[in-house]
Structure 1
Amino acid sequence: MSKTNLVGRRGVILTAMLLIFGGMVAWYFQNGDDPNSLKKVDAAEQKKNLELTAWVVDWQWQEATADFNSMTDGLSSVQAFAAYFDESDKLLFTDQFRQALPVIHDISKQGSFVKVDLTIVNDRINKDGTEVQKDPGIVSRLLATDESREKHIKEIMDAVISNNFHGVEIDYEKIDRKDWYNVIVFYRELYYKLHAAGKTLRVVLEPRTPIEEISLPEGPTYVMMAYNLYGTKTGPGPKADHAFIEKLANRLKKVPGKNMIALALGGFDWSESGKVTSVTEKQAIQLAQSGLEPPKRDEASGSLSFQYVDKDGVTHTVWYADEVTLSQWIGVARKSGYDKIALWRLGDLGQGVLDYVNE
């Protein structure tokens, strides 16, 4: 290399260094007085290539659609929950659902277009108003024969097309072990029918699903419920912790396809009397104002907890998730290889979660 070329190269290097330095100075004067600037960069980096979806439930549709309206830029789809079943095993849509659906569709068209799916759950609503949640008998009967399965698929297809849904989500839980063969055939046949019509299929999996023992078909997107580690049948604790999410994410790798992890917002309120109730994030924040101490952050889960005493002198323990919790949970899921996250559910979310999702 000649001396002339060496001098020229040094000049190029010096010029590049000056440009980099100048950019750093410009960045400092633009952001150096903002203590949150690095946090914003970190948040944006964490959510790069992240896909978020969320459920809108019929029993709290007004609050849920208000949240949806505040985060349309952050969601790729919403799942309208739900279609149930009547006493004759036919799909049943509540009056609240019929009120909510036009609103959901209208909001979905604002800003970034958000796809709307129909969620079908095996809950039975009787004529007298009583309900049976997660009835495995419905699944057994509907999928027992080729004829019953075909009839069920036709009813689903009619509901999807007539209501202009982008796709379907099947949330059949507490499935009897003897029914898994028929369920797998159902998933496969429904997927092909939907795919031929340009529609999609999601399938919700409970943590108890024996995914190591069954062969779920390729095609659908599978959603693992990574929540209710603590809930209505346990003592106080977080809906999920980091170890729980990681364990379920690793199990899900046995299932074909690019699948999703479902995380639950809100929390639960445990009374010393034994009663356990679900609380939204806003409800938890309101209860915390009368707490015995400020909420504390749990290191293993990122969740918040506190205690309060009600008007009857009974002590309650509340655990709930906020935007910090959600950020940590998503971080664990992404570290385990999942960039698609489903959020259970919209309705009375805190402003921090709304902002986090919509960024």
Structure 2
Amino acid sequence: MNSTGWTICKATILAAVLVILIGCNYNGQSAGNQMLKEPAKRSAWLAYWDLEAGAKDLARIGKKLDQLSYFGAYFAKDDTLFLPRELSAQKSELQAKQRGYETYLTFVNDLHKADGSVVMKDTEVLRRVFADEAAMEKHIDEIIAMTLQAGFDGIEIDYERVWKEAEAGQLFLTFAEKLYVKALNNNLKLRLVLEPGTPFAATRFPRGPEYVVMAYNLYGMHSGPGPKANKEFIQKTAALMQTLPGEKSLALSTGGCLWSDNGEKRFLTEIEAKTLAAVYEAEPLRDDESQCLVYSYQDNGISYQVWYADVKTLNYWLAVAQEQGINNISLWRLGGNVAVNKLK
């Protein structure tokens, strides 16, 4: 073979090898990409009644956050929306360019009455603001105006108990679709928070908003002692929410709850739970199914039981969610956590 022929032969062999290598690399990338999960998105809530403690957690976890929701705006006695002064005072911080995460204003269907009492998760106020097209449009415009004026990047709707009645649920869907269009026109993003009892499979949710599903009410103020979530509950919730369109997030809860045999029930932060354990010299044990910590103690003849989550619990719950294909996590809430910066 002459030199010209050998050169052509080498070029042909080299081209063939490159094709094989590129093909192998492409196939390897495809297989690898199927195994890898998309980058996680981390969100958290900051409650207006606990801003100081929440700000301490935020200082530690802020660089890991993609979104921060300020909780929240609620209804006043005349069905108009009210922004707590604690949140309105945060306007300058919200507009700071160096924060690195999107900010959302959370709207809740709590009604603060003229006599000072509060109706939590009030469905009657939703009936009024969803009563007809004019009322709904007025409510949407008020949400948009408040969000823009306060300098948030997006809107978060946390209207609960709307699925107690099918008609109310359908009105909520109409509201969500209209709100999304107006939010988009005003360069605002939209997140919708849903309860785990939502009829996901039987409902056609509008495409566009991000959906956040709560996975932290397995046990609580409505029940006897137990963890806010466990492996089975997270698996079940994650499976149900797969029918939702677009981007999805699973909400997990910090802290825990206290129950007594005289009927007392109240939520606790992780720091409060640890402090009680130290005061009463109780030794918390880790529950296998939930990875929560649990302990009991007595005071003046009354028995108490406490269940709570720490960062090991949260990372376990996160791993269970990821196994179900859910990689975006929303954390309720900042404030009173010991090692929230170690959330994966």
Give, in whole Å, the separation in 1 of the partners of 2:183 and 2:88: 23
Mapped contact 1:290–1:308 kept (Cα < 8 A)? no
Give the partner amino acid of 2:57. Answer: D
Superposed CA deviations along residues 144-171 of structure 1, whole A, max 9, x for unmatched, are: 2111111111101101111111000000
Equivalent residue, structure 2, for 1:130: 117
Deviation at 1:179, TM superposition (A): 1.4
Give, in whole Å, the separation in 1 of the partners of 2:54 and 2:37: 23
Give, in whole Å, the separation in 2 of the partners of 1:103 and 1:339: 31
Give, in whole Å, the separation in 1 of the partners of 2:126 and 2:244: 21
SS of the residue corresponding to residue 69 of structure 2 reads strand
Q: CA RMSD in A?
A: 1.8
Superposed CA deviations along residues 167-220 of structure 1, whole A, max 9, x for unmatched, are: 000000111322122211111111111112211000000012122222111001
Mapped contact 1:121–1:172 kept (Cα < 8 A)? yes
Give, in whole Å, the separation in 2 of the partners of 1:291 and 1:248: 36
Equivalent residue, structure 2, for 1:317: 305
Query: % of aligned pairs identical?
Result: 37
Give, in whole Å, the separation in 2 of the partners of 1:258 and 1:202: 9
Give, in whole Å, the separation in 1 of the partners of 2:301 and 2:41: 45
Equivalent residue, structure 2, for 1:191: 180
Give, in whole Å, the separation in 1 of the partners of 2:246 and 2:126: 24
Question: Is the counterpart of residue 341 in structure 1 residue 329 in structure 2?
Answer: yes
Unaligned 5+ runs, structure 2? 1-35
Mapped contact 1:292–1:309 kept (Cα < 8 A)? no
Equivalent residue, structure 2, for 1:328: 316
Which stretch of structure 1 is more off in the superposition, 149-158 or 47-56?
A: 47-56
Equivalent residue, structure 2, for 1:172: 159
Give, in whole Å, the separation in 1 of the partners of 2:274 and 2:288: 19
Deviation at 1:72, TM superposition (A): 1.1
Question: Is the counterpart of residue 86 in structure 1 residue 76 in structure 2?
Answer: yes
SS of the residue corresponding to residue 70 of structure 1 reads helix
Give, in whole Å, the separation in 2 of the partners of 1:291 and 1:337: 41
Moved >6 Å (runs of 4+): none
Deviation at 1:327, TM superposition (A): 0.5
Give, in whole Å, the separation in 2 of the partners of 1:132 and 1:51: 33
Mapped contact 2:38–2:327 kept (Cα < 8 A)? no
Superposed CA deviations along residues 68-116 of structure 1, whole A, max 9, x for unmatched, are: 12211111111000000012110012233333x247527x654x61211
Equivalent residue, structure 2, for 1:295: 284
TM-score by length of 2: 0.85
Equivalent residue, structure 1, for 2:297: 308
Question: Is the counterpart of residue 251 in structure 1 residue 237 in structure 2?
Answer: no
Mapped contact 2:219–2:225 kept (Cα < 8 A)? yes
Give the partner amino acid of 2:122. Answer: D
Mapped contact 2:88–2:150 kept (Cα < 8 A)? no
Alignment of 1:140-159 (within 5 A): 140-159=127-146
Give, in whole Å, the separation in 2 of the partners of 1:337 and 1:136: 33
Pick from 137, 147, 167 the counterpart of residue 160 of structure 1.
Answer: 147
SS of the residue corresponding to residue 232 of structure 2 reads helix
Equivalent residue, structure 2, for 1:119: 106
